Amino acid sequence: MANKLKVLVTGAAGRMGREVVRAISAEADMEVVAAIDPSFAAANPDTDAGVLAGVGRLGVDVQPGLSDALYRTTPDVVVDFTQPASVMDNLRLVLGDGVNAVVGTTGLTDADLTEIRQLCSTNDARCLVAPNFAIGAVLMMQFVKAAARHMPDCEIIEMHHNKKLDAPSGTAMKTAEIVAAARTGASPDATQKVILEGARGGDFEGIKVHSIRMPGFVASQEVIFGGQGQTLTIRHDTLDRSSFMPGVVLGIRRIGGRSGLVYGLDALLET
């Protein structure tokens, strides 16, 4: 068999990071060569990333230092599921070293995406940024695009667990962008007396976005379209974090064959 793809996982002790370690270790053509999570590693030295992920010993301890691990293990791909405040520093190191990245961390701004594009072109690196790795969510966005052409009045409600650090979700923002680009001629709201600040949600180019945060949810979204005498609701529910893994594994396999910044899993599914 050809050499395995060497993968470094950042955020390896987090909820998604552990799932990523589990998913990679189940694939024959890739392996985890390094696992980074600074504060976890400081508090729990000598913890094997595989044991932590529940797949048994991989011989890869969770480490604090990304630069050192990049130098030591020369990965083909870095997978980042960390936090909005960490991801850009990580990518400056990773893409700056000419290493390809698959990014699931949400909360990236347009300025961040511009910087990532620049880092890729300066260092001949590739980077997949996917606000949602679940195939059902990608299909939801495709259906939303079709619906918005015919039913331009739309609101988005997204529901996540209460540990999520950003709002609205990256998926909701991407959905709102798709609706805004696809629709023409939405109906304006009546002039309103807003009794409770924020009751109508956030506003992206006239599309209202509502964020719910509570225990019990992983990630769900409803996109509601209103038309004359009818509504259409397109809903996607992520029931557990394993739903993201086929998309992450696909990203790891395919990103090397692309160029620059690839935004959204749908761009990779088409090839």
Of residues 15, 92, 150, 213, which one binds ligand NAP by CB under 6 A? Answer: 15
**Measured from the CB atom, is 206 or 264 closer to ligand NAP?**
264
* Binder among 25, 47, 63, 106 for ligand NAP (CB under 6 A): 106
Which residues within the stretch 148-167 sit at the binding site for ligand NAP (CB under 6 A)?
164
Q: Is residue 213 part of the contact set for ligand NAP (CB under 6 A)?
A: no
Q: Say which of 6, 160, 161, 193 is annotated catalytic.
A: 160
> Which of 47, 105, 220, 221 forms a contact with ligand NAP (CB under 6 A)?
105
Does residue 221 belong to the site contacting ligand NAP (CB under 6 A)?
Answer: no
Distance in Å, CB of 37 to ligand NAP, minimum? 4
- Identify which of residues 183 and 243 has a Cβ nearer to ligand NAP in the complex: 243
CA distances to 33, 178, 184, 270 from 27, rounded to whole Å, are: 14, 33, 45, 22
Q: How far is the CB of 58 from ligand NAP (least distance, A)?
A: 17
| Active site (annotated) includes residue 164 | yes
**What span, in angstroms and rounded, lies between the C-alpha atoms of 54 and 49?**
9
DSSP β-ladder status, 202-204 and 207-213: antiparallel
Check residue 263 for interaction with ligand NAP (CB under 6 A): no
Work out the angle at residue 21's Cα, subtended by the Cα atoms of residues 246 and 51, and round it to the nearest 5 degrees: 140
* Spatial contact of 186 and 148, defined as CB atoms under 8 Å apart: no
Q: Please, is 149 exposed, middle or buried when counting C-beta atoms within 10 Å of its C-beta (0-12, 13-18, 19+)?
A: exposed
| Comparison of 38 and 206: residue with beta carbon closer to ligand NAP | 38
Start-to-end CA span in the chain (Å): 24
Tokens of 153: 């009045």
Q: Which 38-97 positions form the footprint of ligand NAP (CB under 6 A)? A: 38-40, 81-83, 86, 90
Q: Decide: is 9 part of the binding site for ligand NAP (CB under 6 A).
A: no
CA 127 to CA 146: how far, in whole Å? Answer: 28
H-only helix segments in 109-194: 110-123, 135-150, 170-182
Q: Is 150 a catalytic residue?
A: no
Torsion of CA 63, 102, 258, 171, to 10 degrees: -170
Name which of 4 and 164 has its Cβ closer to ligand NAP: 164
Residues taking part in catalysis: 160, 164
> Residue numbers of the site for ligand NAP (CB under 6 A)?
10-11, 13-17, 36-40, 81-83, 86, 90, 104-107, 130-133, 164, 244
